[in-house]
Structures are given as C-alpha cells and as structure tokens.
Amino acid sequence: MDAKVHENEIIKGSSNFLRGTLRKSMADELTGALAPADAQLCKFHGFYQQDDRDLRQQRQEQFLEPYYSFMLRARLPGGVCTPSQWQTIDAVAQRLGNGSIRLTTRQTFQYHGILKRNLKPLIQQINKAMIDSIGGCGDVNRNVLCNPNPLQSQLHAEVYRWARRISEALLPQSNAYHEIWLDGERIEGGDSEPLYGDTYLPRKFKTAVAIPPSNDVDVYTNDLGFVAIAEQGKLLGFNVLAGGGMGTTHGDTSTFPRLADELGFVEPRQIIAVAQAVVAVQRDHGNRFSRRHARLKYTVESMGTKRFRREVERRASVSFTPPRPVSFEHQGDRYGWSEGSDGNWHLTLYIENGRIADLPDAPLMTGLRKIAALHRGDFRITPSQNLIVAGVPNQLKNQIEEIARRHGLMQQRSSIRLNSIACVALPTCPQAMTEAERCFPEFMTRIEQLAGAYGLDEMGTVIRMTGCPNGCARPFVAEVGLVGKGPGSYNLMLGGDGRGLRLNRLYRANLKEAEIVAELERLFKRYAEERLDRECFGDFTIRAGLVPAVVNPAEDFHD
C-alpha cells in the first residue's frame, strides 16, 4: 500500500474486514476507551467513542482519563420502525443508554452515554428487535433516507421498498459484526467485500430517495440521490443525482458544500446496479490521501460530471435518458394529521432537536411509550429529527391525539420554529466548536419574538444551526444558516431557497448571539417592508443583493 495514503486506509486494510482488535479493546477493563485503531473501526459497527466535554478539564485536573462513553447510531432505512421495535428502543435507552433517544437528521436514532461494558448487551438487544447498526457510521453507505410521509400511500410504500433494497445492496458483507457483537460463528477465510474491497470507501457515503414535491430528505445534499418520477401515482422510475455534500473546513477554500448533479433517468429495475456502480466509481477514484477531500463530491468535481456519468453507465450497463422534469416545493415536515390515500391517518409530531426524554414540562418519552402500546401502524423518523405516528385507523385517532397532547407532543409552535433544526454539538460531539442543540431552543424564542414583531412568525423560514462547519443539520441549504466558528460565535449564512435547491453563502462571520439577533432584526425589517408576494426570505436576500447566489461552489462559495 502506498505509504502516503491516509492512516485510516492502513487501519481498514489491515483490520481483517473490520475486526481489528475490537474484542481485546472491549475486554480491557483498565480503560473506558478502545485502542486508537479500534476507535476508528468501531464506526463501521455503528458507534463512536466520545468523552463528555463538559467534564474534560475537571477530569484532567484530577489526573483521570476523560469520561469515555459511546454513541450508537442504528440503521433504519427510511426511518421506519414498528411500535414493538419502538418499545425496545425506549427500554434500551433507559437500561443501557443515558435515558434519552436522539432522532437524527438521517432518519434514525442515536443513544448517547453508553459505557463500554454496556455496548455489547445494547447491540444484542436492538438486534433481537431486528434493528442493527451495521454501517450506521464508517466509510460505507449510511442510513438511506426516504420521504416518510405516506400521503400517496401506495407510491410511498413502493418507493420505500426501493430505499430498503438500496440499503441492503450497499451493506458491507463482513461477518465481523455478527461475530463480535452477536457471538455469531466465525467464517474462516470466508469473508470478502465484493463491492467495497478490503479498504472500503475513502470516506462516508450517503444516499437519499425523494418523492416530489417534498424535498424533506434534502436530496441534493447526498452523495447519491434518487428522485421518484410518478404519473398518476404510478412509479415510472427515478432521476439519479450524484455528488452532493455539506462538510467544509473553516479557512480552507479547497473544501466546499455542493449540490448533486443530475445524471439522468432510469427505470426502477436499474437503480440497484446504478447505486452499486456509483459506489464502485467512488471506491476506485475517490481520494484516499486527504480525508478532507475524499467525499464523492470531490470525485465528481475532479472527474467532471460527463466522465463520471459515462463511467457509471459503463459499470452499471445502463444508458441514462435525460432527467425528467421535477418540481420541489419545500424542505422540512408538514405537521399534525394528514390522511393517506388508503384512508389511514398520519400524525407528524415536532420533536425539538430530535431529543426524546421525559422533560420536566413534557414527558415525551412516556407519551410515545403509551402511543406505542396501542398503535398498530408504524413510526417514521423524519430527516428533520421529527416523528410520524403513521397508519392510524380512524377509530384510534382521538385516543392517540389525546395521549400526544397530554404529554407535550403537540404543543403550539410557530412555523419558524417548526422549520428549524440544530445538530447535537456539545457536550458529546468531539468536533463541536460551540453549542447548537443546547442553546437553540432559547435562541429560537428570541427569533420568534423578532419575527412576531414584524408579522413574520408564520413565514416558516428555514433556520439551521450547527456547532461546526461539518454541516450535520445541513445548514448550507437553509435560508438562514448558523455555522459554529468558535465559542459562542457563528457564521451567518444567507440565501437558501426554502426548497433545498440553492446553497447559501457567508453574510457575516463570527457573530455572537446578540449580534446575530441584531442582524436578523435589520434583515427581517427590510424583508417585511420590501418582500414580493409569496417571496420567501432566502429569495429576498438574493434579490435584495444581500448575498450573491452561489453558482459554482468550487469557485464561488468562499468569495
């Protein structure tokens, strides 16, 4: 292997298909941590080693090792689970996690604060409920997103089945997970990774399936995207997109967010071959020297879209036809009850920051436990960290609503709050430069007051905050993006279009919260006075010349 490749390539290549020394690390009772190489490999098994950053200094002063614990992320294609699976998810959080469940921006759930000794029992318990964490993280395909709101029930069911198939087709084949965590039998010399190879992908890889007119999955921000094309509720095929991504590094202009390019249209039966071909091109052409430049978006950028498309066509033995016209109307979720075409009802609940816990004024966890006990449909986690109680027959509607209301799951919220999201950030995220989840509710209260003062609180502007520029709440496609820059300070980004079709751009750097509020007050005032009929805030910021639109992010995102 080339000596200059990134050290993670060596770790992967010599791991014996993701086994490394994980068993030994787990058995070592002298530390709450894993050996450094295993702390990389464990991501492929769905968990991260973390330490409580609030306690770092205190522990250092007491000459103690950091307070290590683990975050586990499940694989849940399209965010769908049954009520009985929900009951397990809940029980495991109480017994082996920190008592809360965190819904994520990729339609799954995370447990935080798992002690090393509890990892194996936790993985075993969720697996008994038929939920695994394979590829929850790591340099492989991650949880596959799929529009979760089944208004057109049959089309949704069909598209969801394709999302599951993609997830299965892109799963790593190593038996290591079963051996290490589920005490499965060892396959002597039998392991191979026909798709990924022994060094897997150069970097994480993300796939989403959208059903227009909703762009709730932010399909253009994914490495690989499929946009369902239907006529009168019948699925004809998918437009295929490639090369989207959010992560950037402050001060490094060679990194940038990017929206995926359209490769073309294919029929449903062709999409698995196409997905595998896109992965294979990334496997063979992605950058294995610099992880900062290793995502598919840089591969597409350096190969050029035409060559990339040809290579996918060749490997998948397909010919793309021109992409079909699509029209997306909004990002985010639509709340409350909606009726599916099959006569069942779906209740979308706003879960602030995706954090499910028994809060002093809102026992969310207990409420959902009670709903799970009588619900016969399914639960769907949305890409905006919310939850849908889906497939409720008419006769259970009132009962479920009554429980939801009594447990604070249906509080009155402004549209501007309902359209906002924040990432986890402190205290668990090692990359966080500042707060997000913990400060966001109060910050949004100030923004609500501000918007209310100008009659804009129901305008539903998309506001997203992250504790660093990795972009976990997809802030670069928000109308207002707040991207952590340093303790208590954020870059204020403007110019998204509320549909996830345009990147935003830096408006003011390094602002403290009070400065952000003051800036937004000026901007909201102008918007209230000057906006055109039905013009969203993001479009206004471009038309008013507050920021120029990003056309080619490789060239102009950092201008």
Residue 140 per-residue DSSP state: S
* Residue nearest ligand SRM, Cβ-based: 247
Start-to-end Cα distance in the chain: 38
Give the interface segment with ligand SF4, choosing from 199-207, 215-223, 349-357, 422-430 (CB under 6 A). Answer: 422-430
Cα radius of gyration (the chain): 23
Check binding of 425 to ligand SF4 (CB under 6 A): yes
Binding mask 60-99 for ligand SRM (x = CB under 6 A): -----------x-x--------------------------
Distance of closest approach, residue 470 Cβ to ligand SRM, in angstroms: 3
Residue spans of alpha helices (H) in 129-234: 153-169, 176-182
Q: Which of 69, 88, 110, 282 binds ligand SRM (CB under 6 A)?
A: 110
Distance of closest approach, residue 452 Cβ to ligand SF4, in angstroms: 28
Using CA atoms, how far apart are residues 390 and 84, in angstroms rounded to an integer?
Answer: 14
Measured CA to CA in angstroms, residue 50 lies from 24, 39, 104 at distances of: 19, 9, 17
Q: Is residue 142 flagged as an active site residue? A: yes
Using CA atoms, how far apart are residues 532 and 540, in angstroms rounded to an integer?
Answer: 8
Using CA atoms, how far apart are residues 27 and 23, in angstroms rounded to an integer?
Answer: 6
Using CA atoms, how far apart are residues 89 and 73, in angstroms rounded to an integer?
Answer: 12
Check binding of 384 to ligand SRM (CB under 6 A): no
Check binding of 432 to ligand SF4 (CB under 6 A): yes
Q: Quote the distance between the C-alpha of residue 257 and its chain's center.
A: 15
Q: Which position among 75, 102, 142, 464 bears the catalytic label?
A: 142
3-state secondary structure of 123: helix
Check binding of 428 to ligand SRM (CB under 6 A): yes
Within 10 angstroms of residue 139's Cβ, the number of other Cβ atoms is 26
Distance of closest approach, residue 268 Cβ to ligand SF4, in angstroms: 33
Question: Which of 330, 249, 324, 329 lies closest to 292 in space, CA to CA?
Answer: 249
Using CA atoms, how far apart are residues 88 and 131, in angstroms rounded to an integer?
Answer: 10
Using CA atoms, how far apart are residues 20 and 384, in angstroms rounded to an integer?
Answer: 35
Q: Is residue 429 flagged as an active site residue? A: yes
Q: How many helices and strands (H and E) does the chain possess?
A: 18, 22
Q: Which of 371, 472, 536, 547 binds ligand SRM (CB under 6 A)?
A: 472
Residue 246 binding: pick among ligand SF4, ligand SRM, none (C-beta 5-8 Å cut-off by kind): ligand SRM
Q: Which is nearer to ligand SF4, 270 or 466 (CB)?
A: 466
Q: Is residue 423 flagged as an active site residue? A: yes
Q: Is residue 468 flagged as an active site residue? A: yes
Binding mask 439-468 for ligand SF4 (x = CB under 6 A): ---------------------------xxx
Using CA atoms, how far apart are residues 553 and 427, in angstroms rounded to an integer?
Answer: 32
Give the interface segment with ligand SRM, choosing from 26-34, 90-98, 466-474, 484-492 (CB under 6 A). Answer: 466-474
The region that residue 535 occupies, defined by phi over 0 for left and psi between -120 and 50 for alpha, beta otherwise, is beta
Q: Are strands 224-231 and 207-210 parallel, antiparallel or unpaired?
A: parallel
Residue 460 binding: pick among ligand SF4, ligand SRM, none (C-beta 5-8 Å cut-off by kind): none
Give the interface segment with ligand SF4, choosing from 36-44, 423-431, 438-446, 531-539 (CB under 6 A). Answer: 423-431
Length of the chain: 559
Q: Which position among 380, 468, 474, 485 bears the catalytic label?
A: 468
Check binding of 386 to ligand SRM (CB under 6 A): no
Residue 156 binding: pick among ligand SF4, ligand SRM, none (C-beta 5-8 Å cut-off by kind): none
Question: Which of 394, 460, 468, 459 lies closest to 437 in space, CA to CA?
Answer: 468
Within 10 angstroms of residue 95's Cβ, the number of other Cβ atoms is 12
Q: Which position among 423, 464, 499, 505 bears the catalytic label?
A: 423
Give the interface segment with ligand SRM, choosing from 227-235, 268-276, 424-432, 488-496 (CB under 6 A). Answer: 424-432
Check binding of 436 to ligand SF4 (CB under 6 A): yes
Residues with catalytic roles: 73, 142, 204, 206, 423, 429, 468, 472
Which residues are near ligand SRM by CB under 6 A? 48, 50, 71, 73, 104-106, 108, 110, 142-143, 204, 206, 221, 245-247, 295, 354, 385, 423-424, 428-431, 470-474
Which residues are near ligand SF4 by CB under 6 A? 423-425, 429, 431-432, 436, 466-468, 470-472
